[in-house]
Structures are given as C-alpha cells and as structure tokens.
C-alpha cells in the first residue's frame, strides 16, 4: 500500500479561509444553527425508515431455505455487532446514515481470518478514491478504488472488502450515493422557513406586522430607534400586550391571515412531497385523509413493496458479498430479513392466514405457533394434510373397489 499512500498525499491545497469569514457567510445567508432534523416531516421520515430496519431480524439460510445458525457473521449481525451496540441499534444507525448522509459505512474488523466485530464509521469522514492512475495500474496492486477515512487527524485506507457500504437516495456514478436532503435542498428549505415563520408568529404573540403613521420626518437613526422600542413592547414575555404610542402617531396592523395565503395547504403539500421522496406513506405522518386504520395491513404491504423491498435488497446483497465466502455463496447461502413483523395484520387476519397455511400443508403446527410467539408442542413438527386428498394420477381409484349393485351378495341377502 506504499504507492497508494504516495499518490494520495499528492493533494492540492485550497485557498485558506478564516473562521471569521465562514461565520460571516453563514450569518449573511441565515444558515447558522440550522438543522434538517429540526424539520418535523424530515425527522419523521428518518425515524420511520431507521426503525423499520432496526426492528427486522436477519437470518442466514442455505440453498434449500433452511436456517443456518452456526456462522461468525450471523453471530455479529444477530447478537452483538460490536462491544457497544445491539443489532437493532446497529441497523438503525446504518439506515440513518444511509438516508441522512447518502452513504453508510461499517468497518469489518478481522483478527486473522476471523471476523470479530463490525464497527459503523462516520460518513462525514469517509472518501472514496477511484484508481485512475497509470502509475498505480502498472503495479501489482489490483484495486479499482479504496476508502479513505480521517480520524483524529490521521488518514486510514481500507480495501473494498473491509468496508460495508450502503448507498442511499440515488447515485450518479455507482460509487457513492446522494442523500435526499441534498437533492431536495430547496424543498426542505421551504419547509423550514414555514416553520420559522410560525415560530416567529408565536413569539410575537400572534401579532402581525404593522405600519406606524406619523406627521413629520425622522432620520434613519430615529426611525430605527422608534421601531426597536415599539417591537420590544410588542414582543415582551408578559401577558400584557399594551403598546404605548407617542402623541400624533398611529399603529396600523397589517391583517394577513394564514387562511388567505393557504398556508396550511401549502405546508401540508410540502410535507407530502418530502415524505414521498423518502417513500414514506401519508399514514406514517398521521395523515389518514385517504386511508384509515381498517386498511393498515394493505398500507404496510404497500410500504414494503414500494419502499422497503429495494432497501432490504441492498443490505442483503452487500451482506452476501462482503460477509460470505465465494464457496458459501456457491452453496446457496444467503442473508434474508424477516419481514413477517411488517406484514402482520390484525388478530382476525392472522388467525385466518395461519389456519389456511397449516391446513394447506404449508406450515407445521409449531411453525404457526412460533409465528404467534407461542412455545412448541410435542408432535407439532409434522405436515398435516386433509385425508381426502389424493395424487392427481390416483383420482377415481377409490371407486374401483366398490361392488356393483345387484351382485351375487345382494342376491344371497334376499333368500
């Protein structure tokens, strides 16, 4: 890796910018102390997607669909990825980073040939350096790209097989993802501005802007002083909203109603746009205008097919390639998320579904009981089938042994 380090160190230095200039820029742009997570729709979308991944269990199966329990990678994903995280916390953090930053990374820490822990990394500190150097291609180092990670003032370089990489939002080059908040920056900005307007309105006691009428002419300094003093009275913290006005002046409020500007409709439409970009359904935003609790099962199915299916496929493909050997993949080994908890309906729907699956010889009794969280029973691991069922080629054979009417036996019984 020496030649890689030598090439990577050939970096150009940008013009230096002082901290004061940076602060001045953010103050002018009114971007200081802003945070996308403070926008409620964005926060709900991040919460729904992250927790949807966090609550799903993951299994390792062989080519016949049987669960495999003895595997070092499964032990980490299902029990403890590292010393300070549970599996649900790990999956929730990975999905949050994938959506919020556009990329999610985790370091695969091997001790010899054994995988001992999976450690999430900060996406802000990660860069991908693509190998397009002739000097590098001429060496024995066969790497198309490497991961560069900065930590505590040091640079670390990882091979692709050492990093789990999940891309979010969309990607234009196949190497890195781009988050929804980067793509829809203007839409998120509008949502935050509408919330800021409401906050200021509440702060001012729901008092709108006003015009001061007076006779005469004030210079700029006196105008600013007058406005400042009246604004202080109008926005005081006490319940008294009495504003003293000098003699000869008149304070006329500007009557701007939120209903006239369709503020609620615009804010709702913006929220639905943001949720739609994440694939989050309106019912997750508590918007049941076109839905109800009665069709929650169908809503969950739509959410799974339209949103989660693609996300889960990304995770499973990355896990299969990075956590399984080529020999294991050749045998059909693969990781698979258990989506039963998402598609689980009400008690009546569950009962009807499990009953049909059991009597239809698809589930055993114990598999159905395990789905409901109940313990196994003795003799419940066999497939049951209706006794009247026969193979297709044996249809009609049951009637071949029935004696014909009017036979010899019937003649004897009449004697």
Q: What's the distance, CA 358 to chain centroid?
A: 34
Asked whether residue 184 carries a pLDDT value surpassing 70, the answer given is yes
**Cβ neighbours around 166 below 10 Å, total:** 22
pLDDT tens per residue, range 261-310: 667 777 787 888 888 888 888 888 877 676 666 666 677 788 888 899 99
Q: Which residues contact 350 (CB under 8 A, 6 or more apart)?
A: 344, 371, 372
Task: Tally Cβ neighbours within 10 Å of residue 283.
Answer: 19
Residue, of 373 and 153, whose pLDDT is higher? 153
Hey, how many other C-beta atoms are within 10 angstroms of the C-beta on 189? 15
| Range from 20-24, 117-121, 219-223, 397-401 that averages highest in pLDDT | 117-121
Q: What is the pLDDT at residue 410?
A: 52
pTM beyond cutoff 0.75: no
pLDDT of residue 157: 93
Give the integer Cα–Cα distance in Å for 349 and 347: 6
pLDDT of residue 65: 85
- Asked if 46 and 102 count as a contact pair (C-beta separation under 8 A), the reply is no
CB proximity list for 375: less than 8 A, separation 6 or greater: 369
Q: Is the pLDDT of residue 164 over 90?
A: yes
Joined together, the tokens standing for residue 204 give 């001012």
The pLDDT of residue 335 is above 90: yes
38 backbone φψ class: left, alpha, beta (φ>0; ψ -120 to 50): alpha
Band (pLDDT 50/70/90 cuts) for residue 6 is very low
Tokens 């829809």 belong to residue: 184
Model confidence at 388, pLDDT cuts 50, 70, 90, reads: confident
* Rg of the chain in Å (alpha carbons): 33
Looking at the chain, the number of H-run helices and the number of E-run strands are 17, 11
Q: For tokens 């669909």, what's the residue?
A: 65
Q: Which residue has the higher pLDDT, 89 or 138?
A: 89
Do 160 and 176 contact (CB within 8 A), yes or no? no
Bridge partners (DSSP) listed for residue 127: 148
- pLDDT value at 127 more than 60: yes
Single out the residue of 319, 275, 301 nearest to residue 94, CA to CA: 319
Q: Determine which of 250-264, 328-342, 388-402 has the lowest per-residue pLDDT on average.
A: 250-264
pLDDT at 242: 67
Return the pLDDT at 11.
Answer: 41
Higher pLDDT, 265 or 254: 265
Neighbours of 306 (CB within 10 A): 12
Q: Average pLDDT for residues 107-131, to the nearest whole number?
A: 93
Domain boundaries, the chain: 186-264, 346-395
What DSSP assignment string belongs to 24-85?
HHHHHHT-TT--GGGSHHHHHHHHHHHHHHHT--EEEE-TTS-EE---HHHHHHHT-SBTTB
Residue count of the chain, please give it.
Answer: 415
Band of pLDDT at residue 24, cut at 50, 70 and 90: low
Average pLDDT over residues 160-181: 89
> DSSP readout, 221-247?
HHHHHHHHHHHHHHT-SSS-------T
Which segment, 24-33, 149-158, 166-175, 374-383, is predicted with the most confidence on average? 149-158
Cβ within 8 Å of residue 304, ≥6 positions away: 339, 342, 343
Tokens of 125: 């500190």
Torsion of Cα atoms, 364 then 368 then 373 then 379, to 10° = -30
User: Which token pair is 322?
Assistant: 């990075």
- pLDDT score recorded for residue 185: 77
pLDDT of residue 46: 92
Instruction: Identify the residue with better confidence: 280 or 404.
Output: 280
- pLDDT: which is higher, 286 or 383: 383
User: How large is the angle between the packed helices 185-203 and 263-278, nearest 10 degrees?
Assistant: 140
When pLDDT is averaged across residues 156-183 and rounded to a whole number, the result is: 89
Q: Residues 314, 164, 94, 45: is their CA dihedral positive or negative?
A: negative
DSSP 406: T
Q: What is the reported pLDDT for 138?
A: 45
How far from 146 is each of 6, 160, 317, CA to CA, in Å? 14, 6, 20
Closest CA to 309 of 265, 278, 339, 348: 339
Mean pLDDT over all residues of the chain? 78
pLDDT (0 to 100) of residue 304: 87
pLDDT at res. 10: 40
**pLDDT range class, residue 26, cuts 50, 70, 90:** very low
DSSP letter, residue 362: S
- C-alpha to C-alpha distance for 297 and 88, rounded to whole angstroms: 23
Would you give the DSSP letter of residue 169? Answer: B
**Res 72 pLDDT > 80:** yes
Q: Does the pLDDT of residue 183 top 90, yes or no? A: no
Angstrom distances, CA of residue 367 to CA of 94, 247, 383: 31, 85, 10
pLDDT of residue 268: 81
Q: Please give the pLDDT value at position 232.
A: 73
Q: Please state the rounded mean pLDDT for residues 228-255.
A: 69
Alpha helices for 146-205 (secondary structure H): 180-183, 185-203
- Listed range (15-29, 59-73, 89-103, 139-153) with the worst mean pLDDT: 15-29
């Amino acid at each position: 890796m020496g030649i890689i380090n030598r090439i990577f160190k050939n970096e150009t230095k940008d013009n230096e910018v002082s901290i004061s200039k940076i602060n001045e820029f953010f103050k002018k742009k009114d971007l200081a102390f802003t945070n996308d997570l403070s926008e409620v729709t964005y926060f709900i979308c991040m919460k729904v997607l992250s927790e949807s991944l966090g609550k799903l269990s993951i299994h390792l199966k062989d080519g016949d669909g049987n669960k495999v329990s003895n595997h070092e990678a499964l032990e980490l994903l299902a029990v403890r990825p590292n010393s300070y995280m549970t599996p649900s916390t790990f999956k929730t953090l990975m999905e949050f980073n994938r959506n919020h930053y556009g990329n999610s990374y985790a370091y695969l820490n091997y001790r010899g040939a054994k995988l001992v822990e999976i450690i999430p990394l900060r996406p802000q500190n990660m860069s991908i350096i693509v190998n397009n150097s002739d000097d590098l291609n001429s060496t024995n180092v066969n790497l198309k790209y490497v991961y560069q990670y900065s930590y505590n003032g040091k640079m670390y370089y990882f091979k692709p097989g050492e990093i789990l990489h999940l891309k979010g939002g969309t990607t234009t080059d196949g190497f890195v993802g781009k988050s929804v908040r980067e793509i829809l920056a203007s839409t998120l900005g509008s949502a935050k501005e509408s919330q800021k307007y409401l906050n200021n309105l509440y702060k001012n006691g729901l008092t709108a802007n006003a015009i001061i009428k007076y006779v005469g002419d004030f210079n700029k300094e006196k105008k600013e002083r007058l406005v400042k003093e009246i604004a202080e009275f109008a926005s005081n913290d006490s319940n008294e909203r009495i504003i003293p006005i000098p003699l000869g002046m008149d304070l006329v409020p500007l009557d701007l109603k939120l209903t006239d500007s369709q503020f609620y409709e615009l804010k709702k439409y913006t929220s639905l746009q943001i949720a739609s970009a994440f694939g989050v359904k309106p019912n997750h935003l508590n918007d049941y205008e076109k839905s109800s609790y009665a069709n929650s099962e169908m809503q969950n199915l739509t959410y799974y097919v339209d949103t989660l299916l693609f996300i889960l496929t990304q995770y499973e493909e990355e896990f299969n390639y990075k956590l399984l050997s080529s020999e294991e993949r050749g045998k059909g080994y693969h990781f698979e998320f258990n989506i039963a908890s998402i598609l689980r309906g009400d008690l009546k729907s569950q009962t009807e579904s499990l009953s049909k699956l059991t009597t239809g010889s698809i589930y055993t009794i114990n598999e159905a009981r395990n789905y409901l969280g109940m313990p196994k029973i003795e003799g419940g691991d066999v497939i049951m089938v209706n006794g009247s069922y026969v193979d297709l080629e044996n249809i009609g054979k049951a009637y071949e042994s029935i004696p014909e009417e009017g036979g010899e036996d019937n003649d004897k019984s009449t004697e």
